[in-house]
Chain A
Amino acid sequence: MKKEIIPSLILTIVCILFFSGVYPAVIWAIAQIGPNKGEGITIKDNKGKYYYENIGQKFSDDKYFWSRPSAVAYNAAGSGGSNKGPDNPDYLLQVQATIDTFTVHNPGINKADIPSDMVTASGSGLDPHISVEGAEVQATRIARVRGLDKSKVEALVKAHIDGPMLGMGPERVNVLKLNIDLDNLK
């Protein structure tokens, strides 16, 4: 054991320099030609404010499409889910309450049209997307609150549906992009 200590120690030091020094430096250098120099992809609205495209935001105002419920209130200094089990009675009461709130704010919708992603918390608490059904079910409210034609709002939702990537994965709507364009809608 003793005679292995010095070689192990030196090998550890050179490996730390290489795998924790050189390797990240190479990736950082490649990042400089990547999107936004590796600082996270941002988008701007027409007032010049910038947002992180992939970080979901809290939308609780009736004039915006809502995001999903979040266990961390969309504070991206942290992240995480509710970690509630599927048969937890407190959790089920909470989901019921979220459904009730959703129905109150969206009068006239059919309960069966509410998709479960709108009433369940995401894994990260920062999910930037909602399902297509989740956007469609809110169109009536948005049209009413903003005094827009419902068909116009529905067309906007349709234009914001991201299809499967390379033919794979689910369809979804980026809530942030949808709401930025909603603000631009006349």
Chain B
Amino acid sequence: MNPQILGVVVMFVATLLLAVPLGRYIAKVYGGQKVWTDFIFNPIERLFFKASRIDPGKEMSWKQSLVALLTINAIWFLWAMFCLLNQSWLPMNPDHNPNMTPDLALNTAISFITNCNLQDYSGETGVSYFSQVFGLMFLQFASAGTGMAAAAIVFNALKDRTTDKLGNFYNYFLKSCTRILLPLCILVATIHLFEGTPMTFKGIDNVMSVQGDTMHVSRGPVAAFVAIKHIGTNGGGFYGANSAHPLENPNYISNIVQMVAQILIPFAMVFAFGFYCNKRRLAWVFWSVMTVGFLILVIPAIQAEIHGNPYIAKMGISQPGGNMEGKEVRFGATASAFWCIATTVISTGSVNGMHDSFMPVSGMNMLLGMMINSFYGGVGVGFLNFFIYVILAVFIGGLMVGRTPEFLGKKIEAKEMKIAMIIALFHPFLILSFTAIASYFTAHDTNMGWWFTDAAGKHNASGWLNNPSYHGFSEMLYQYTSCSANNGSGFEGLADNTPFWNISAGIVLLFSRYLPIIGPVAIAGLMANKKFIPASSGTLKTDTGTFGLLVFAVKVIIAALAFFPALALGPIAEWMKMH
């Protein structure tokens, strides 16, 4: 087999092989059963809970859980703002990076508490080591733990019983961080150390190049950062170029490790649901639906990138490596194309090539991955997004065959459906309305005043685009799609470190993070409270291929109807122009 194709097959298969046992382990952690990490973490967690006066055994209702979740997230936001606005005088700043501007700090703080990691700054010059480690890296753990805790609450609610007690949020949160994220991070960080990723607190090194130019080489505590960045599907890179940077992602092996690390927990959470609720067959149905969606997006992207740019072909040179603009030779077009889709179907948003320079087919599929946002999805929240579609499919399926819509022995009624519909439609609403506003300004070349200044000091809205025409529209569409999916990758040509983009993206991020957590937790909480009806011959079976197909169809219909016009103006038009 072609060694580049073999590479991506290995990444996928290795993830699956690791995800099943990890899923079983996660189910045990949330179920409070004995696991092998008890001996280290039992005493540590006991100490933490004692210090914070939390009784981890005290169960909460879904409302209490959400209150706790939102409170602690608000505290994290304040902490992040403090770090970013004061980093110039705080310790661990060997490169003397300045404080962030308030609008950039706002955007950065929000994008890290929401697990998005949009990064309108560049790591080398925009943040100190203190902000990286104590601000951002902490939030990479915390935001991932939040999503996983929310998923754990939903798992708990879907058990075959009637209750309003759904475990303790703090307990789920801390255990997610200590017992699931941390051990994996130590493993991934250690592998990176030996592949050549730096882990030092020393600043920029000045060296002379072979040709005699002075070079400044930015270093830092990268290995610890890059591990949680992927394990927690955060995606915020230590360096500006993210995982395209040769210190952050030194070779093909580190690339495989990072890829496996980022899809691992999103896979494992699906299996964890199966083990936890004893619905293994259903978990495999869910996983298969997600995988079909993923493959449909990833295969054309790989083909397009290998094939290369037709305009460059016309110039008479060869493209043995495919479309190489924005890509690294050590990964090649195949692994970069696989990465661009993997990072967008799950909500990582790390990049190992510059998405702005990918071919239109890849660009469209990246957008679709984020628009659907639940072919795997981010740690925890991916499952929650998927759950919304399952509820919709159960309802539609029930109507089609004339049965009462039930899921796992609980009736789906008007209230649950209303919440599910609002959450499902809110995502396209946010993306499309904000893109429309930005496009309006661009089309009229509005003078944005304080809200936007380009490099030349002009305030014209069209100045925020790095590419003209359809591709320019895609840059704006991608930015808001990435925010609403809490993804964090970008068509980075967009001049997004400006008040207009920092603030508008921040607003989208806040809504699109917390509503899709509140909605599914509320639905699950309401369902848990209902009478359990044992399955009968009148029950719509959900652990079947037919039901899987139905879920898939619901997703495609919602995404296609909502997003097709926007995609037609962006990547589809670009593709037609090129061919």
Contact = CB atoms under 8 A, between A and B. Distances in A.
Interface of A: 1, 4-12, 14-16, 18-20, 23-24, 26-28, 30-31, 34-35, 37-41, 45, 49-61, 64, 68, 74-89, 91-92, 95-96, 99, 111-117, 119-131, 133, 164-170, 172, 176, 179-180, 183
A53 B196 contact: yes
A115 B256 contact: no
Contacts of B204: 77
Contact of A86 (B49, B138, B360): B360
A115 B312 CA distance: 10
13 contacts: A26-B186, A38-B200, A51-B209, A57-B211, A60-B211, A76-B215, A82-B326, A83-B493, A111-B316, A122-B327, A168-B252, A170-B252, A170-B329
Interface in B38-59: 44, 47-49, 51-54
B211 A61 contact: yes
B138 A168 contact: no
B401 interface: no
Contacts of B202: 39
B68 A57 contact: no
B90 interface: no
A34 B321 contact: no
Given A87-B311, A133-B320, A167-B6, A10 B53 contact: yes
Contacts of B170: 7, 11
Given A57-B211, A68-B329, A87-B574, A124 B244 contact: yes
Q: Which 9 A-B pairs have the closest CB atoms?
A: A123-B244, A83-B493, A169-B252, A81-B354, A85-B471, A79-B241, A170-B332, A38-B199, A77-B216
Contact of B245 (A57, A59, A79, A92): A79
A99 B7 contact: no
Contacts of B67: 1, 4
Given A19-B182, A26-B186, A95-B315, A131 B329 contact: yes
Contacts of A14: 47-48, 51-52
Contact of A169 (B335, B359, B466): B335
A127 B326 contact: no
B577 A117 contact: no
B184 to A, nearest CB: 12
Given A11-B174, A167-B6, A20 B138 contact: yes
A27 B190 contact: yes
A123 B252 contact: no
A83 B491 contact: yes
Interface stretch (B26-34, B218-226, B480-488, B529-537): B218-226
A78 B323 CA distance: 24
Contact of B221 (A28, A59, A87): A28
Given A1-B71, A88-B468, A40 B53 contact: no
Nearest to A169: B252
Given A14-B51, A86-B359, A38 B209 contact: no
Interface string B194-218: 1010111110110111110101111
Contacts of A128: 246, 330
B252 to A, nearest CB: 4
B174 A78 contact: no
Interface stretch (B72-80, B154-162, B288-296, B436-444): B72-80
B448 interface: no
A92 B357 CA distance: 12
A127 B244 CA distance: 9
B246 A56 contact: yes
A96 B354 CA distance: 21
Contacts of A168: 3-4, 6-7, 10, 252, 256
A83 B354 contact: yes
Contacts of B71: 1, 4-5, 8
